[in-house]
Amino acid sequence: MSALRVSALEVTYGRRAVLRGLSLQAHDGEWIALIGPNGAGKTTVLHALAGLIRCAGSIELAGRTLDRSNRRELARQVALVAQRPVMPPQLTVSEYVLLGRTPHIAPFAGESRADRAAAAWALAQLELGAFGDRQLGTLSGGERQRVALARALAQEPLLLLLDEPTSALDLGHAQQALELIDSLRRAQHLTVLSAMHDLTLAAQYADRLALLDGGELVACAAPQQLLSAERISAHYGALVRIARSGGEVCVLPSRRGVCRAHAGVGVARLQAGGGEAIGGLR
Amino acid sequence: MSAAERLCEAEGQSPGEGAWPLSAPAQALVRARGVPRARGALIAILALGALLLGFAVGPVSIAPQAIIGSALAHLPALHLGARLSPIDEAILWQVRAPRVILGALVGAMLAAAGAAYQGVFRNPLADPYLLGVAAGAGLGATVAIAYAGASASGAALPLAAFAGALIAVAGAYALARAAARAPGGGALVLAGVAIAAFLTALQTFAQQQRSQTLHAVYAWILGGLAGAEWRSVVLVAPYIALSCAVIIAHRRMLDVLALGDEEAGALGLNVPRVRLVLIIAATAGTAAAVSVSGLIGFVGIIVPHAIRRLVSGSYRAIVPLSLVAGGGFLVAADVIARSLLAPAEVPIGVVTAVFGAPFFALVLLRTAHVEL
């Protein structure tokens, strides 16, 4: 069964179409990474699914069409972790994670016992039990990312949207965060949609990659099939080599392109030159 | 897994079918701090002390126990306490009481509105006058005094100030809406700056044109509680009570707003609507307060910050405690304003700044570890 079914998603800003007829399906517990160059529309997809911007088309989650006009209902099913979550420095971790219960709480009410239990559960899931009373301002980058995930998890969503979950983290913390997301989605059957820049990490963790360019979905497939030097050259304007070993795909930026660009070779030539760079370690 | 199953699991009653092992067998329920009891009680006691001081201090001093006795004697059905002499009764209940109550209402309103504005705009420099309330009220009052001959004791002056304040903020909101489809904090603040500059220029022009009323205009702008009567208390109390009730009801939503528009929206909050409701409540209450007290500065910005730095960063504590502390602070400032150079009065805005600024500097130094 398909947990998420997005059909003909369109977003326009004024007269400019930023997303054109995007259709995408994900099954229960699947992780799809949205990849594509800057401005391709990755964040727009996430914001449209989170109900933050107006869009046309239909979104089905767990067999039901999402009513995007009901914000609270939507927020009970879809959680978003922003690229750089705003964390008021004097709030405690507990208070912050409890804010994730907002869509489950009547507008002027406080948290019930069940809400507090859900927040405690979310903290435990991310091994943050001992952090409850820490102020957000005292957390490190890796801890902040875990706390943001705990807040999203306290929302008890069916669909978790992550905007560049590792952009503020070093490699070690990025791996830890992605491992956590991976075990959470397996344990909770969470469908995950994440915008990612690092293609190698995206290929390692996501089941499928969805390549966007210019507001259109170019391809959606398993990393092994999707990542090729031609594709990356055509859509990112980058020269890369693709290394494959033991079922893993590794995207290696190639220095030769940078030298050419410095020598004054235009992007068109650079893209055309992408073909020469294929192969490599293949 | 349902919330109920999670409750069991979180309390360690049954591990349930959760696929993810809990790191600790029994998880304590997490909770938001809300208003911490000890500090909340201390602030309430200090504010009550300030009220008592306001009743007791003046050219005729009345002992605190006599005040409490007289107050009890006024309660119907209970035969407690003892009335004072007729003169002392009149001084206490017709002169000092309305002034103290009005001071408490205005101080509470300005501090609560300041907290609401700081939350809505996520801007530590926001105060209740951010969107042009002060400029609008100032223009309204100046026009009433300079062209209509309104006096400080008449009913026309507060009405003109109230209307001016509301028109100014409505203008700022309309301008921001025209400039951006869903006005965010930035567009509103800039629109407020434009409106305030324009209205202040008109106010200065009117003031200079009728220079014979300069003194009356200036006295109003400096603000004060002299000449407070029960009539003014009755006039503004409903606005202030309603406005404070709305702000208190939104205290948790202010915490959600603090996460930024994007995340607050993703948590199901209708950000533009919540922002508009809070702006209307804070503005109407501030306009009512300003209409009877003039422009009293500093309370609306330092009280919420002092609470934030000394007690908690959550609006669930900041809003109610700012309200209580703001009321107490303004009553205490008024006691100083009327006794320092008695029988003359020092403008209350001078007192709030002269005593408030060093106090706030001390708070800043003692809480240097707290980020804004």
ipTM: 0.84
For residue A99, give the nearest of B27, B250, B256 by CB distance. Answer: B256
Residue to test with chain B: of A102, A115, A160, A185, most B Cβ within 10 A:
A102
Q: Inter-chain contact A117–B268, Cβ cutoff 8 Å?
A: no
- Contact across the interface for B313 and A89, Cβ inside 8 Å: yes
B345 phi/psi in degrees, rounded to 5: -115, 140
In this prediction, residue B22 carries a pLDDT of 40
What pLDDT is stored for residue B242 in this prediction?
95
Name the more confident of B319 and A130. Answer: B319
Mean pLDDT computed over B178-190: 76
Q: A111: distance to nearest CA of chain B, Å?
A: 8
Tell me the backbone φ, ψ of residue A142, rounded to 5 degrees: -65, -40
CA B186 vs CA B121, B177, B278, B337: distances in Å: 8, 12, 16, 37
Q: Would the pLDDT of B326 be above 90?
A: yes
Chain B residues touching residue A89 (CB < 8 angstroms):
313, 370-372
Q: Looking at chain B, which residue has its C-alpha nearest residue A158? A: B1
Binary contact (A89, B371; C-beta < 8 A):
yes
Which residue would you say has higher pLDDT here, B148 or B371?
Answer: B148
pLDDT of residue A274: 41
Which distant-in-sequence residues (6+ apart) come within 8 Å of A34 by Cβ? A42, A45, A46, A193, A194, A195, A196, A210, A212
Q: Where are the domains of chain A?
A: 2-227, 228-282
CATH code given to domain A2-227: 3.40.50.300
3 state DSSP class of A211: strand
CB of B84 closer than 8 Å to CB of B70 = yes
3-state SS, residue B195: helix
Tens of pLDDT, residues B244-303: 999 999 999 999 999 988 899 999 999 989 999 999 999 999 988 988 888 888 899 899
Tell me the shortest Cα–Cα distance from B111 to chain A, in angstroms.
20
Counted across chains A and B, CB pairs separated by less than 8 A come out at 142
Residue type, A100: G
pLDDT at B27 over 60: no
Q: Which residue has the higher pLDDT, B105 or B19?
A: B105
Query: Given this model, what pLDDT does residue A269 score?
Result: 42
Contact list in A for residue B4 (CB cut-off 8 A) is 114
The string of pLDDT tens digits covering residues B339-348 is: 888 788 888 8
Other beta carbons less than 10 A from residue B147's beta carbon: 13
The two structure tokens encoding residue B39: 């500090």
> Are B314 and A96 in contact, with CB atoms under 8 Å apart?
no
Q: N- to C-terminal Cα distance for chain B?
A: 39
Name the range with the highest mean pLDDT among A183-187, B99-103, B137-141, B208-212: B99-103
**Do the Cβ atoms of A184 and B249 come within 8 Å?**
no
Please tell me if residue B368 touches chain A, with a CB cutoff of 8 Å.
no
Residues 6+ apart with CB under 8 A from A48: A9, A11, A19, A55
Which of B3, B252, B308 is nearest residue A118 as measured by Cβ atoms? B3
Which token pair is B369? 């570890």
Q: Do B313 and A71 touch (CB under 8 A)?
A: no
pLDDT at position B152 is: 64
Taking the CA of residue A119 and the nearest CA in chain B, the distance in Å comes to: 7
- Phi then psi dihedrals of residue B182, to 5 deg: -115, 95
Give the nearest chain A residue to B254 (CA atoms).
A99
pLDDT at B26: 40
In this model, does residue B48 exceed pLDDT 80?
Answer: yes
CA A243/CA A252 separation, integer angstroms: 7
Closest CA in chain A for residue B123:
A88
Among residues B18, B262, B239, the alpha carbon closest in space to that of B112 is found at B239
What are the pLDDT digits (tens) for B193-244?
Answer: 999 999 999 999 988 888 888 888 888 888 888 878 898 899 899 999 999 9
Q: Answer whether B170's CB lies under 8 Å from B178's CB.
A: no
B29 pLDDT higher than 50: yes
User: Region B87-100: what's the mean pLDDT?
Assistant: 88
DSSP B212: G
Contact B281, B243 (CB under 8 A): yes
- Judge: A85–B263 Cβ closer than 8 Å, yes or no: yes
Per-residue model confidence (pLDDT) at position B359: 82
* List of chain A residues whose C-beta atoms are within 8 Å of the C-beta of residue B372: 89
The segments of chain A whose pLDDT lies below 50 read 259, 261-282
Q: Is the pLDDT of residue B316 over 90?
A: yes
For residue B28, give the chain A residue with the closest CA: A120
Say which of A102, A104, A135 has its CB closest to residue B269: A102
- CATH number of this structure's domain B62-366: 1.10.3470.10
Supply the pLDDT for residue B321: 96
Whether residue A121 and residue B10 make contact (CB cut-off 8 A), yes or no, is yes
Indicate yes or no: CB of B267 within 8 angstroms of CB of A113.
no
Q: Which of A51, A105, A121 sits opposite B9 (nearest CB)?
A: A121
Decide if B291 touches A, using CB distance below 8 A: no
pLDDT value, residue B145: 86
Phi and psi angles of residue A106, each rounded to the nearest 5 degrees, phi first: -60, 150
Answer yes or no: do A50 and B265 touch at CB < 8 A: yes
**In chain B, what residues touch A98 (CB-CB under 8 Å)?**
30-32
Is B38 touching A (CB cutoff 8 A)?
A: no
Inter-chain CB proximity B27 and A124 less than 8 Å? yes
Q: Name the minimum distance, in Å, from the CA of A83 to any CA of chain B.
A: 10
**What's the confidence (pLDDT) of residue A96?**
94
A101, A155 in Cβ contact below 8 A? yes
User: Which residue type does B316 have?
Assistant: R
B118 touches chain A (CB under 8 A): no
pLDDT of amino acid B227? 76
